[in-house]
Structure 1
Amino acid sequence: MSASDRVQRLREEIERHNEAYYCHDAPLVSDAEYDRLLAQLAALEAAHPELLSADSPTQRVGAAPLPEFAALAHATPMLSLNNAFADDEVAAFDRRVREALANDDESEIRYSAEPKFDGLAVSLIYADGRLLRGATRGDGSTGEDVTGNLRTLRSIPLRLRGDDWPAMLDVRGEVLMLRGDFAQLNERQREKGEKEFVNPRNAAAGSLRQLDPRITATRPLRFFAYGVGVATGVALPATHFELLDRLVAWGFPVARERRRVSGLAGLLAYYADIGRQRAALPYAIDGVVYKVDDLAAQARLGFVSRAPRFALAHKFAAEEAVTELLEISVQVGRTGALTPVARLKPVFVGGVTVINATLHNEDEIRRKDVRIGDTVVVRRAGDVIPEVVRVLVDQRPAAARRFSMPENCPVCGSRVVRSDDESGGKGVAAVARCSGGLYCPAQRKQALLHFASRRAMDIEGLGDKLVEQLVDNAIVRTPADLYQLGLVALAKLDRLAEKSAGNILAAIEKSKRTTLARFIYALGIRNVGEATARDLARHFGCLEGLLAADEVALQQVPDVGPTVAQCIRQFCSEAHNRTVIEQLRAAGVSWSESEPAVSSAGAVAGKVFVLTGALPSLTRDDAGRLIVAAGGKVTSAVSKKTDFVVAGADAGSKLEKAQQLGVAVLDEGQLLALLQAGAEAAAQ
C-alpha cells in the first residue's frame, strides 16, 4: 500500500472515531488506541510532507497566534430570537403563526423543538465540502474570524461526509463545554494553581476567542449544529427536523433531545419535559427553542425587526438563592450614572458564584427596604446581571444599617445630581449622576469617544482602541488634552506607526475649526443631541451666552423643556467642566460666532423628519443637512410629532412605526421635491 493510501485510510478511520465520540457519544476505541492512530498519521505526514492537507485530523492542534481577529461578514444575518417566559406568551406565538399561515383554530402547526444551548453561536462556511472559514455571531451581521480556533474542535468536520453536500454551505450552531469537561478543566486549573473558570459558557467563549489557537486546542470545546444559513447547489429537505438529520449525515452533532411536536399542547409538554431533564443533561441550557418545522412556511412567515417570526425561545425561570448582604458600594458608569451595588457573601446561583448584585438605585433600595447586614434573595437568569430581589425581613439583625447615596461622586468628587427625566417606570424615581462629565475618570473614555465622533468634532482615526490606550496610559484625561498630544507620545502606542500618528495629529488640528453647534454637541451634555445643540447655537449665538443662561432663559429655546434645561445648567455650573471648556478654547478650538441662518418659510420649515434606510444617492447626513438648512428638524425616533419619515432601502422598524402611526413616508425623490418646493416658496 502506498503512503498516500495509508494516509487517506488513517484519516478516514480517525474521522470515523471523531464522529462516533463527538456526535453519538459512542466511542469505538479506547483513548490510547485513538492516540496511537493519530501518532501514526502524524509520522506519515512528517515523512511525506507533500501529503499534508489542511483538512487532516493532525491539523487540529492550532497554528501560530494572531495579532487580532479580522471582521467577517455573514452571508445571511445571524438573528436573535424573541423570548417567552410564560405559557400565555407561547400561546400568543402559536396563535400568530396560525393566523399568518391562515390556519383555523382546529388546525395544529407542527414544530421542531430543541434545547436552547447556553454557549457561543458561530457560523461555519464550507466550500465543496471543506471547511473554509468560521466566525462568531458578533452583532448578527459581522462576526470575528475564528477559523483557526474552530479547526481545533474535533466535533467540527473539516470535510463533510458523503457526496451530496452543497457547493456552498453555511452551518449555524453553538460552541459550548460539557459539564463534565468543564469540571475536569477546572480541576487541571487548580492543580496548576491557576484561576478557575466561572461557568461552562464563559469558559467556552473565552477559549474560542483565544488569539493563540494552540490554547484553544487544549480546551474541551464541543460544537452542536442547529440550522443552515445558506446552501447552494443541492436541494434541501422540506422540514427543519429533516434538515438536522441531513446535518448529522454530513458529520455534525445535533441535540439528541430534539423532537417534533404539534400545537400549543405539544410545545408546553416539551418545555416541561426538558425542564425536568435539565439538571441531568450533559450541557447547560437556559430554555428551549421552537421553530415552525415546514421550511416553506418559515419563508412565508419571514422576519420582524431582527428576529424570525417562525421561531421562539422559551426561557426557563430565573434561579434564586439566599445569602447575606455584607456592604453596599457605589459604581460610576460610563455615562456618569451612580449605581449602588450589593457586596454579598458568596453564593452559587444560575451557574455561577455571585458576590455582587445590582440594587438599581436609591429609590429601589428604599422600596425594597434593603439594609446592610440583611439576609436577601438573589436572582440570576442567563447572562443577566444578578439582582437583589427581596429581603427576608424576619431574619434582619438588630445592627442592620440603612444606605444613603453620596452627595459627591466617589471617583472625582463632583456634585451628584438627580435627573428627573430618567424614571425607569413602576414608581422608580430619578437616576443619580456625576456632574463632572468632561473631568470624571469613570466617564473619560465615553466622553472622549463622543467628543471625537463624526457628528461632533469629527477627529478621524480616534477610535475605541486608541482612546483606550490614551486613557489607560494616562496620556489623555480630558478632551482638552487631545490638543496637547505630540507625535512622539502617539507613535509609542501599540500598532500606531509614525505615519498613522501624524494623520491623527492632522485630524486633531483640523478639528479646531468647527461650528458652535458641533462644539455644544461634542461636550456630551445629558439630553442634548444634535438638534438641540443646533437650536442652542442659533438662539444664543455665542458660547458665553449659553454658559451664563439660567433654566428660565434656556427654556426660551425651541424644544428645550425643564428637564433639558436642568441638565444643561447642571453641566455648565460644574467648575471642572468649565475649566475643560476654557482649556479647549485656549488650545485653539474656534468657530464663527454667528451660526448660518436657516430658512423659516416653505414646505419644510418647522417640520420634523426621521431618516431610515439607505438612500439612493444621498447619505443620511447629507439629507439631514439639507432638511436643517431648509428650516426642518431631524430626530432619531418616530412619534406622533413626526411629520415625515424619509425611507430608503432596508428601512426597518422606524418605517413600520410610521405606517402604524399614519406618518407620511417619503422616498429620496419626494424629499428633494419637497425641499425644492420649500425653496421656491421661501424665495417668493
Structure 2
Amino acid sequence: MNTKEYIENLRNELREHNYNYYVLDNPTISDFDFDSKLKELQDLEAKHPEFYDANSPTLRVGGEVTKNFNTVVHEHRMYSLDNSYSLEDLQDWEARIKKMVDGQIQYTCELKYDGASISLTYENGSLLRAVTRGDGMQGDEVTANIKTIKSVPLQLKGSYPAKFDIRGEIVLPFEGFNKMNEERIDIGEEPYRNPRNTASGSLKLQDSAEVAKRPLECLLYNITGDNLGIATQMESLEKARQMGFKVPEAAKLANSIDEVLEFVNYWDTERHNLPYETDGVVVKVNDLQQQEELGYTAKAPRWAMAYKFKAEQVSTRLNSISYQVGRTGAITPVANLEPVELAGTTVKRASLHNSDQIEKLDVRVGDEVYVEKGGEIIPKIIAVDLTKRPENSQPTQYITHCPECNTPLERLEGEAKHFCPNYNGCKPQIVGRIQHYISRKAMDIEGLGGETVALLVSAGLIANYSDLYTLTKEQVMPLERMAEKSAENLVNGIAASTQIPFERVLFALGIRYVGETVAKKLAKHYKSIDAIAKATQEELVNVDEIGVKIAESVIAFFASEENIQTIEKLRSFGVQLEVSAEKLANQTNKLENQIFVVSGVFETVSRTELKKLIEDNGGKVSSSISAKTSFIVAGDKMGPSKKAKAEKLGVPLITEKEFLQMVS
C-alpha cells in the first residue's frame, strides 16, 4: 500500500470511529487508541502536504484563526417559524392548511432544540461551508469553527445528493455546559449564563482551537435543495441519519392534531430528562409535495408551526418606568425591574407595550409583578400581585411630552401607541432612521454599526441618511475606536451601497408601515421612486396588499419637503431609485390583473420558478382557488378536490406547457 492510500485509509477509519462515538454514542475503540491513530495521521500529513484534505479528521482540533467572518447569501432562505401556544392555535393552523391542500395530511412532530441555527452545505459528499442563520437571507460563514464539532460529518456516508443544504441547531449539552462553568469558577472567571447563548457565541470565536475545546453538538432536522429524491419529512430525517448526521430520535409521525398534542404533552414533562435545552415542538406537514403547495408567507413556511411550551414565570419588584423613542417616533414604556433569574438569563427590563396595557394591568412603580418571556425571548409583565401593593401606591400617569426633545406627544385615532411628531428634530428618531437605513435587510453597509451612527450624529457629521455619502475618511477617523483602516472600510462600505437594488432602498427609507414585503410590492408596481411620489391615495390602495393606512403613510412621507430634499441628495450620490434596466428587461405586463393558482408537480420548471414567471409578467399568485382566480396551472398529482372546486367555479385549468406559451 502506498503512502497516499495509507493516509486515506487512516482518515476513513478515524471518520468511522468518530461517527460511532459522537453520533451513535457507541465507541468501538478506546480514547487512547483513537488519539494514537490521530497523532499518526497528523505526522503523516505534516510530512506529505501534497495529500492535504480540507476535511481531514485532524482539522477537528482547530487552529485556523478567522479575523472577519464573510457574509454569505443563503441559496435557500432560512425562514423563521410561526408560534402557537394552545390547542386552538394548532386547530386554526390545521383549518387553514386543509383549505389549501388536498388529501389526508400527516404531521411530523420534532423537538425544538434551543441553540444556534446553522446551515451546512455539502457538495459531492464533502462539507463545503457552514453559515449562521443571520437574518434568514444571509449569514456569516463559520466553516472553520463548525469543522471542530465532532458530530458534524466532514465526509458523508453511503449515497447522497450531489449538492444540498442541511439545517440544524448547534447546542451545548447541560453536562458539558456545567463542566465549562466549573472550570471558569475554578480560575475565578464569571460563569456563562446559559447553554444557548454560549453555543451561539462559540460560533463567532476567532480561534477555532478555542471552539474545539467546547463540547458542542450539531442536531440536524431539515434537508433543503433541488432534485433530492425525498418524498416526506420523515424520510428526509432517515436519509440524513444514513448519510452520517446526528438526527434526534424523538421525531414521530402523527395522523391528527390530537396525536400532535399527545406528543406535546408527553415532551412537556419528559424534556426535563433530555441532555439539551428545548423550548417546544415543531410540527410540520410530512408530505413534501404538500409543503410545496402550501408555500411561504413573507416570514415563515405555511406548512410548519412551532408549539411553545408554557413560558416560565417569576415575580419581582417594579422599580421604575422609563420611556424609549423609536425611529418612527413611537413611544415604548419600559419596566425597570429588580434583577431576577428567568429561563437561564438575568432579566432587568420588560416591555409594557403602551398606555392601554399599563392601564389594563394597573401597573404601578413599587408593585410586585409577574414576568414571563413572551415566546421565551422578550420578557413581559403579565400581572400584578395586588396583595403586596404598597399602601401609598399611586396610579401610573403616562407621559405627555417626549422624554428626549420635550415635544407634546400625539396619539392618532385607532393607534395603540403615543408618538413624538418632531420627525427631524428628535435625536433618537434621527439615529434610529439612519440605523435602519444601514441595516442588513436594507442597505447592508459594511463597516458601519449602530453605535458609530450615534457617534456620527452626536458629532454633527450627519443629520440624515443622505449625509452618509458626504463623509470622508478624515472626518471619521477622530471618532472613538476608529482607526485609519476601519474609517476607510466605513467610507468604502457607504460608497458600495449605491449598488443596492431599488426595492431595498425603498425599505431603507424607513417609511412607516413600509416593511420588506410592502417595499417589494411598491417597487414592482411603480418601478421608480418618482412614480411612487406622484401616486394618489386611491392609486396606492389599488396596488396588491396596500391598505389605506400604508397609502396614507406613503403620501405623508412624500408630502414632506425635507424628505424630498433627502431623496434628491441620494439621487445625486447615485443611490438606486428605480428598478434596474436589467431587471425590467425580464418583466412584462402580459399577465396584468390575472390571478393564478399553481398546483401539482411540474417537469420543465420548478414551482418556485413558475411563481416567479407569473409575478415577473405582472400576474398575481394566490394560494387558494376562488371566483377571482383567472387560471390554475395544473401539474401532475393535482388534488381532486381542487379540480372539483375549479370546475364548480368555472376556473380554467392550463398545463405547464400552455402557461409557458402564454409568457414566452
User: Counterpart of 1:471?
Assistant: 454
User: Counterpart of 1:72?
Assistant: 72
The structural deviation recorded for 1:295 is 3.6
The structural deviation recorded for 1:94 is 3.9
The structural deviation recorded for 1:26 is 3.3
Tell whether 2:176 aligns with 1:181.
yes
Distance 1:253 1:505 in 2: 44
User: Counterpart of 2:115?
Assistant: 119
User: Counterpart of 2:283?
Assistant: 290
Alignment-mate amino acid for residue 57 of structure 1: P
Tell whether 2:121 aligns with 1:154.
no
**1:648 match: secondary structure:** helix
The residue correspondences of 1:366-515 to structure 2 (distance < 5 A) are 366-410=359-403, 412-421=404-413, 423-424=415-416, 430-433=417-420, 435-448=421-434, 465=448, 468-472=451-455, 474-476=458-460, 478-479=462-463, 485-490=471-476, 495=485, 501=491
Change (3 A) 1:247 1:535: closer
Alignment equivalent of 1:345, drawn from 338, 344, 363: 338
Aligned 8 A contact 2:469 2:494 in 1:
no
Change (3 A) 1:525 1:215: same
Alignment-mate amino acid for residue 353 of structure 1: T
Larger Rg: 1
Aligned 8 A contact 2:371 2:379 in 1:
yes
How large is the RMSD of aligned CA atoms in angstroms? 4.9
User: Counterpart of 1:675?
Assistant: none
User: Counterpart of 2:314?
Assistant: 321
User: Counterpart of 1:102?
Assistant: 102
Distance 1:126 1:371 in 2: 55
**2:410 match: secondary structure:** strand
Aligned 8 A contact 1:182 1:200 in 2:
yes
Change (3 A) 1:467 1:489: farther
User: Counterpart of 1:21?
Assistant: 21
The structural deviation recorded for 1:92 is 3.9
Aligned 8 A contact 2:448 2:493 in 1:
no
Alignment-mate amino acid for residue 216 of structure 2: L
The residue correspondences of 1:151-300 to structure 2 (distance < 5 A) are 151-162=147-158, 164-230=159-225, 236-300=229-293
The structural deviation recorded for 1:203 is 1.8
Aligned 8 A contact 1:444 1:478 in 2:
no
Alignment-mate amino acid for residue 186 of structure 1: N
Q: With the length of structure 1 as denominator, give the TM-score of the two structures.
A: 0.68
Deviations 1:357-390 (A, max 9, x none): 1111233222211112211111114453100101
Q: Which structure 1 residue ranges, 5 or more long, are not aligned?
A: 425-429, 509-520, 538-558, 573-577, 592-610, 624-645, 666-684
Distance 2:496 2:169 in 1: 45
Change (3 A) 1:280 1:531: farther
**1:122 match: secondary structure:** strand
Deviations 1:241-294 (A, max 9, x none): 232222112110011211223223321211111112121111122221223334
User: Counterpart of 1:330?
Assistant: 323
The structural deviation recorded for 1:174 is 1.7
The structural deviation recorded for 1:10 is 3.7
Distance 2:512 2:81 in 1: 33
Deviations 1:581-602 (A, max 9, x none): 7xx99xx9899xxxxxxxxxxx
Distance 2:26 2:437 in 1: 58
Deviations 1:29-55 (A, max 9, x none): 555554444333323322333333211
**1:186 match: secondary structure:** helix
Deviations 1:570-625 (A, max 9, x none): x99xxxxx9xx7xx99xx9899xxxxxxxxxxxxxxxxxxx9999962699x99xx
The structural deviation recorded for 1:436 is 4.5
Q: Which structure 2 residue ranges, 5 or more long, are not aligned?
A: 499-506, 520-528, 537-547, 572-577, 590-612, 632-664
**1:102 match: secondary structure:** coil
Distance 1:189 1:436 in 2: 49
Distance 2:220 2:67 in 1: 29
Distance 2:234 2:618 in 1: 33
Aligned 8 A contact 2:107 2:256 in 1:
yes
Distance 2:18 2:532 in 1: 62
Aligned 8 A contact 1:337 1:431 in 2:
yes
| Alignment size in residue pairs | 562
Alignment-mate amino acid for residue 433 of structure 2: A
Change (3 A) 1:178 1:392: same
Distance 2:30 2:413 in 1: 65
The structural deviation recorded for 1:222 is 1.2
The residue correspondences of 1:84-103 to structure 2 (distance < 5 A) are 84-97=84-97, 100-103=100-103
Alignment-mate amino acid for residue 23 of structure 2: C
Stretch moving more, 184-193 or 242-251:
184-193
Distance 1:315 1:478 in 2: 44
Alignment-mate amino acid for residue 49 of structure 1: P
Distance 1:658 1:261 in 2: 25
The structural deviation recorded for 1:157 is 0.5
**1:431 match: secondary structure:** coil
Deviations 1:134-166 (A, max 9, x none): 21233333332222222121111000113x222
Deviations 1:442-490 (A, max 9, x none): 334333367899xxxx9x9977817753533654454277698555224
Stretch moving more, 240-249 or 384-393:
240-249
Distance 2:143 2:434 in 1: 34
Aligned 8 A contact 1:319 1:381 in 2:
no
Deviations 1:223-250 (A, max 9, x none): 1111210265xx7454332322221121
Alignment-mate amino acid for residue 161 of structure 2: P
Change (3 A) 1:236 1:328: same
Alignment-mate amino acid for residue 210 of structure 2: I
The structural deviation recorded for 1:132 is 0.9
Distance 2:142 2:322 in 1: 39
The structural deviation recorded for 1:114 is 1.3
Change (3 A) 1:267 1:469: same
User: Counterpart of 1:359?
Assistant: 352
**1:372 match: secondary structure:** coil
Aligned 8 A contact 2:447 2:490 in 1:
no
Deviations 1:158-204 (A, max 9, x none): 00113x22222322222222222222233333344444433222222
